[in-house]
Chains A and B, each alone.
Chain A
Amino acid sequence: MDNITVTINGKEYEVAAGITVLEAVKAANINIPTLCYLKDINEIGACRMCVVEVSEGGKPFRMVTACVYPVSSGRVIETDTPKITESRKLNLELLLSNHNQDCLSCVRSTTCELQKLCRDYGVSSSRFGGAKTDTHTDYSSEAIMRDNSKCILCRRCVAACKTMQDIGVIGANNRGFDTEIGCAFEMKLADTSCVNCGQCIVACPTGALHEKDQTEEVFAALADPDKKVYICTAPSVRATIGECFGYAPGTDVEGKMVAAIRRLGFDGVFDMNFSADLTIMEEGYELISRIKENKNLPLITSCSPGWIKYCEHYFPEFTDNLSTCKSPQQMFGSVMKTYFAQKNGLDPKDIYFVSAIPCTAKKFEVRRDHQCAAGEGIPDVDVAITTRELGRMIEKAGIDFRALEDEEFDNPFSIGSGAGAIFGTTGGVMEAALRTAAEVLTGKELKKVEFSEVRGNKAIKLATYDLGGLTVKVAVASGTKNAKELLNKIKSGEVEAQFVEIMCCPGGCVNGGGQPTQPAYVRNNTDLQGLRAAVLYNADANKLKYRKSHDNPQIKQIYAEFFGEPNSHKAHEILHTSYVKRGL
Chain B
Amino acid sequence: MKKNLTTVEFHGTKEQEEKLLAVIAEYKGVKGSMMPILQKAQDIYGYLPIEVQRIIARETGAPIEEIYGITTFYSQFKLNPTGQVAISVCLGTACYVKGSGDILDEISSQLGLPVGSTTKDGKYSLDATRCIGACGLAPVLTVNGEVYGRLKTDDVKTILAKYRD
Contacts and interface: CB of A to CB of B under 8 A. Distances in A.
A83 B10 CA distance: 55
A172 B69 contact: yes
Interface stretch (A69-77, A88-96, A179-187, A430-438): A179-187
A183 B65 contact: yes
Contact of B65 (A174, A175, A178, A184): A184
Interface in B59-102: 62-69, 72-74
Contacts of A167: 63
B73 A175 contact: yes
Given A178-B1, A184-B53, A185-B50, A173 B66 contact: no
Most buried by A among B6, B53, B67, B72: B72
A184 B1 contact: no
B2 A162 contact: no
B5 interface: yes
B123 interface: no
Given A184-B53, A185-B50, A171 B5 contact: no
A288 B64 CA distance: 41
Contact of B5 (A178, A185, A192): A185
A169 interface: yes
Given A184-B50, A184-B53, A171 B2 contact: no
B40 interface: no
Interface string B24-64: 00000000000000000000000000100100011000111
Contacts of B64: 184-185
Given A171-B68, A173-B68, A175-B73, A186 B63 contact: no
Interface residues of A, number: 17
B35 to A, nearest CB: 15
Contacts of B67: 184
A168 interface: yes
B116 to A, nearest CB: 12
Interface in A180-229: 183-186, 192
Interface of B is mostly: helix
Contacts of A172: 69, 73
A171 B65 contact: yes
Nearest to B54: A584
A162 B66 contact: yes
A584 B57 CA distance: 10
B88 to A, nearest CB: 20
Contact of B72 (A162, A170, A174, A192): A174
A192 B57 CA distance: 14
A178 B2 contact: yes
Nearest to B70: A171
Nearest to A167: B63
Given A168-B63, A171-B63, A175-B73, A184 B68 contact: yes
A162 B5 CA distance: 23
Interface string B1-26: 11101100000000000000000000
A184 B71 CA distance: 10
Contacts of A162: 63, 66
Contacts of A175: 72-74
Nearest to B74: A175
A178 B73 CA distance: 10
Most buried by A among B3, B57, B66, B74: B66
A170 B68 CA distance: 10
A512 to B, nearest CB: 23
Nearest to B79: A185
A192 B73 CA distance: 21
Contact of A174 (B2, B63, B66): B2
A420 to B, nearest CB: 36
A398 B63 CA distance: 45
Contacts of B57: 584
A169 B72 contact: no
Nearest to A192: B65
B65 A169 contact: yes
A185 B68 CA distance: 7
B5 A173 contact: no
Contacts of B72: 173-175
Contacts of B62: 168
Contacts of B66: 162, 168, 171
Nearest to B67: A184
Contacts of B50: 184-185
Contacts of A170: 65
B69 A173 contact: yes
A172 B63 CA distance: 13
B3 A174 contact: yes
Contacts of B63: 162, 167-169, 171, 184
Contacts of A169: 63, 65
B77 to A, nearest CB: 11
B128 to A, nearest CB: 14
Nearest to A172: B69
Interface string A134-171: 00000000000000000000000000001000011111
B73 A174 contact: yes
29 contacts: A162-B63, A168-B66, A169-B63, A170-B65, A171-B65, A171-B68, A171-B69, A173-B65, A173-B68, A173-B69, A173-B72, A174-B2, A174-B73, A175-B74, A183-B65, A184-B50, A184-B63, A184-B64, A184-B67, A184-B69, A185-B6, A185-B50, A185-B53, A185-B64, A185-B68, A186-B5, A192-B65, A584-B57, A584-B58
Interface of A: 162, 167-175, 178, 183-186, 192, 584
The 7 closest A-B pairs by CB, nearest first: A168-B63, A184-B68, A178-B2, A171-B69, A184-B65, A171-B65, A184-B64
Given A168-B66, A184-B69, 14 more contacts: A168-B65, A171-B69, A172-B69, A172-B73, A173-B68, A175-B72, A175-B73, A184-B50, A184-B53, A184-B63, A184-B65, A184-B68, A192-B65, A584-B57
